[in-house]
């Protein structure tokens, strides 16, 4: 089984070392389980102010390691000066197919006018927009770095006006319930990956609410153990078209 993992990160998690935070080790683990493509952001994008430097390093690491397996998704922080040029660099200089946002770490909501402008720029450049709703369980957060979940309510109205921008919600299922996901999927061109989906048979239950063509495979490695994402597939006994769609086909429609 081939897999496209839409949610991995490079560099170092700022609060502790992780078993696979050296890129060659992460690549080896992904290949071991049949990952043929991994959409990679950077942990540095959370707190660093030099976003141009973050994306330069990310692009270089993806070229250096993995022999095409790693696909860079650059960070963009629309609260910083000249952030529009970061979007341009991601597209023109690094040929990235998309960008990754961290609204809760960067201090804005999805009803912010700067976010709406960002979607306009993404549409012009045909970029996939990944929005990270959370990075870790709130119970695990450092007491001096309490970061709230991103509120998705503004997307219900906004997404319908931007069907030309595919939006992928990362780590959604710590804060978004299946019914909310169904409403978001109906509202616009919105997708979800499964890294934070919990509960026995969780993927199968989610498929009762959300169309299969809106679900993607995501592991949130190396912050999460990659094998836990695989177990979500096994325990829901997915087969055939459904399994192939979730693991590869849906992602390939966004980034051929």
Token reading at 112: 């912010």
Domain residue ranges of the chain, discontinuous segments joined by +: 3-254
Model pTM? Answer: 0.96
- In this structure, are residues 98 and 39 in contact, taking their beta carbons and an 8 Å threshold? yes
pLDDT in tens, 109-165: 999 999 999 999 999 999 999 999 999 988 888 998 899 999 999 999 888 888 999
When the pLDDT of each residue in the chain is averaged and rounded to a whole number, the result is: 95
Strand, helix or coil for residue 1: coil
Specify whether the backbone of 108 is left (phi greater than 0), alpha (psi in -120 to 50) or beta.
Answer: beta
Q: Domain 3-254: which topology? A: TIM Barrel (3.20.20)
Token reading at 53: 């430097």
pLDDT in tens, 211-243: 999 999 999 999 999 999 999 998 888 889 999
- In this structure, are residues 54 and 12 in contact, taking their beta carbons and an 8 Å threshold? no
Whole-number Å distance between alpha carbons of 98 and 255 = 9
């Amino acid at each position: 089984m081939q897999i496209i993992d839409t949610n991995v990160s490079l560099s170092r998690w700022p609060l502790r070392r992780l078993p696979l935070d050296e890129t060659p080790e992460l690549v080896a683990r992904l290949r071991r389980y049949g990952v043929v493509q991994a959409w990679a952001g950077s942990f540095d994008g959370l707190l660093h102010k030099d976003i141009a430097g973050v994306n330069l390093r990310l692009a270089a690491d993806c070229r250096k390691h993995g022999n095409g397996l790693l696909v860079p998704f650059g960070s963009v922080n629309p609260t910083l000066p000249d952030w529009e040029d970061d979007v341009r660099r991601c597209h023109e200089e690094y040929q990235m197919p998309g960008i990754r946002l961290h609204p809760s770490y960067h201090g804005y909501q999805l009803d912010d006018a700067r976010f709406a402008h960002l979607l306009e720029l993404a549409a012009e450049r045909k970029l996939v927009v990944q929005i990270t709703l959370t990075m870790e369980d709130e119970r695990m957060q450092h007491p001096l770095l309490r970061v709230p979940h991103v509120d998705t309510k503004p997307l219900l109205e906004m997404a319908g006006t931007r069907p030309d921008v595919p939006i992928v919600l990362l780590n959604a299922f710590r804060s978004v319930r299946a019914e909310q996901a169904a409403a978001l999927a109906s509202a616009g061109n919105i997708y979800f990956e499964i890294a934070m989906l919990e509960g026995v048979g969780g993927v199968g239950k989610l498929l009762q609410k959300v169309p299969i063509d809106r679900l993607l495979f995501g592991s949130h490695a190396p912050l999460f153990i990659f094998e836990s994402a695989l177990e979500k597939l096994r325990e829901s006994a997915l087969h055939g078209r459904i399994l192939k769609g979730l693991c590869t086909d849906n992602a390939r429609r966004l980034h051929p």
